[in-house]
Structure 1
């Protein structure tokens, strides 16, 4: 049966049953109630037959090609009428069950040969590929006794990507709001790419004096430099066991992926070449550094389905891959986490292999829950033990980061909530200081 009775039918049918139940008072009421309900059922069947589904309307789902992790994504169900009469419709979309939904169904009147739309919002809990189902449609019959129902084939898959919208906002924030003026003041004199000559002033470094030009002009002249463009940035993302830890609604890997994407957007916008390497026990994906917006699309595609695995990461294989296939000096940004001495020593040993050819920036993703243990005054013996463990782990992490700095690399330890802006700012700082 491809129809269901409406509230109007049920109310009328119930009235007939009430009359039927009074048959013990008057037998005529018994027959009257019975005939009324039978006639009502017959009318409903005729009403259903007079409600053609085919050709009355068309339904289409539209949504963005790319869903962003953790943000609202709008889905629209568009309906177009082919009937000369108004139609009353009820729609319900079969959204991916893993996603949180707001308002995926609704009822409305469609004007004669008119159009209408039902919009609702989905919030995505994870990256990857998800599946939409069909669209359920009910059409109210002319007499309002039944809903004719059908299912419009609309199965499709959708990809959920890292939060590229936040990455795009990071570019705007870095280059148009707070950082642009600061960068303009700091560009000259600290980069690697020659820009122009100017008269020497007190405070300029002697190593920047252009002696030949000074001799020709009869006064000291200094070289001005600007930040070198088209430098090489390699983003290394650890997908191992420690990155499975959840902070709020997302894993540490989710935060790392979002931060890597933000840096890639800013780097490409600034004219640099961005590359990507993901690894666990082996190198899973490697994308050599290249410039241009097309590289961003490739990075986004590689990152959309990266998932953490319960495996120990092999820093040796990851860094060996960088040394083997990246001959040009690069800023190598490793997004990882370390919580014990063994992991720290392994990371340190192989980080040293990158220096001096490359400049490593080791980013450890801080656990805000771990820091929360050491702040309050312990209220019990269990709290004392928990604080002791947390303090030991934090101390080991600090020693490892200090050792990286001593070796000639860079280190950054930041909580997940501040990871993307902090990493983008550190990248810009490295550029302005001409360290690459």
Structure 2
């Protein structure tokens, strides 16, 4: 009995009719002849409530609902979550679906209402966009069901306690991997780079066609075939490509609820896959007070899984980053020239100058690309219209910080260090562009 009472809820229609009945009894004090009429109405309402209870509770499992959770969610992306609903009653029902979302979303207002005919089934799909890696635990899936009478609701509770791991953006990874396989990367803003000269890695010999570089003519093959033959070259392969992620305090800033660190993690995952598809060796490491989460650059079949798991388990207290420690570690552990894509952030030229000696030392032994971020919120604020003196003053300060970023790019270039200044949401495309550009120019 107690269990049944916990499942029973009074509907808005019941409270509306009860309110009208109470108002009628109040009027009956003024008009005593009405008292008998409203007493019959009260008895009728009680009978209808009992009938409604009998309809809803006669069937043990009058409705079935289930959510279909994937094995993992993709961080920063819209992840679909389908819910299946089936009416097992012999009459049509009204339902209200309540989803207890994981606490990370801080949302307690997910409700979906509708009608279902007897025996009908429906699939409802909603989307979730997680912004943190880790385990997300779902609560119960609750359905409040009412009969055509609509006086009471019966609560059904399903599932609960299911967990999903949120990994770096593998949905974005699949998209760019497909484009890389079909050589259609330019369709997503990845520009085609004009090749300057050519690399010296031989691929095969083919017939000469108009426009080929005559310096590549293969005279021995030409003599054998009695027609012009040329050597075909390809991009050099098996070059080490390391993503170096700063997990210090400068990477804590959020844009669109996703931290700069997670933007860098998502970009690293995609770049590693594309680099492997281009026959290069992909690796990674993170640093703040020390260098850790190291994956040595390699081309083995399990490399992407190792990188994915390492990126998923990155944890940080956003401490101050030690660039001297980074330089010492790379000097000791990377004996061969590699491409280093360093994800960090510099707010001012003074912040860069403190780390510049270590960046210059790294660029002497490796091809270093310093990747840092434009503050899009600051840029938007600096262009807003304002007449107040305080607002103009604040916009002037904002524009000063924006100009400071451009000075950082020039300062890095002055010391021969490659750099990339990009919006957080464009990081993946911009990084891939830079990688393809450097590869096309044969710089590593």
> 1:386 is matched with which residue?
397
Q: Is the 8 A contact 1:362 1:412 kept in 2?
A: yes
Q: Is the 8 A contact 1:91 1:137 kept in 2?
A: yes
- Structure 2 SS opposite 1:318: helix
- Structure 1 SS opposite 2:271: helix
The alpha-carbon deviation at position 135 of structure 1 amounts to: 1.1
- Structure 2 SS opposite 1:29: helix
2:11 pairs with 1:6: yes
Q: 1:150 aligns with which of 149, 156, 174?
A: 156
Q: 1:268 aligns with which of 273, 276, 279?
A: 276
> 1:99 is matched with which residue?
105
Task: Say if 1:121 and 1:254 are closer, same or farther in 2 by CA, change over 3 A.
Answer: same
> 1:23 is matched with which residue?
28
> 2:412 is matched with which residue?
401
Q: 1:123 aligns with which of 122, 129, 134?
A: 129
The alpha-carbon deviation at position 234 of structure 1 amounts to: 1.0
The alpha-carbon deviation at position 94 of structure 1 amounts to: 1.1
Q: Residues of 2 paired with 1:102 and 1:269: CA distance? A: 43
Task: Give the total of aligned pairs.
Answer: 431
- Structure 2 SS opposite 1:278: strand
Query: What does residue range 21-420 of structure 1 map to in structure 2 within 5 Å?
Result: 21-34=26-39, 36-38=41-43, 40-41=45-46, 43-45=48-50, 47-52=52-57, 54-99=60-105, 104-141=110-147, 143-172=149-178, 175-176=183-184, 178=186, 186=195, 190-197=198-205, 223-291=231-299, 294-304=302-312, 306=314, 309-340=317-348, 343-355=351-363, 357-368=365-376, 382=393, 386=397, 390=401, 393-394=404-405, 397-398=408-409, 400-405=411-416, 409-420=417-428
Task: Say if 1:7 and 1:204 are closer, same or farther in 2 by CA, change over 3 A.
Answer: closer
Task: Say if 1:84 and 1:373 are closer, same or farther in 2 by CA, change over 3 A.
Answer: closer
Task: Say if 1:164 and 1:347 are closer, same or farther in 2 by CA, change over 3 A.
Answer: farther
- Structure 2 SS opposite 1:255: helix
TM-score, length basis structure 2: 0.78
The alpha-carbon deviation at position 117 of structure 1 amounts to: 2.1
TM-score, length basis structure 1: 0.80
Gaps of at least 5 residues in structure 1 are none
Q: Is the 8 A contact 1:101 1:123 kept in 2?
A: no
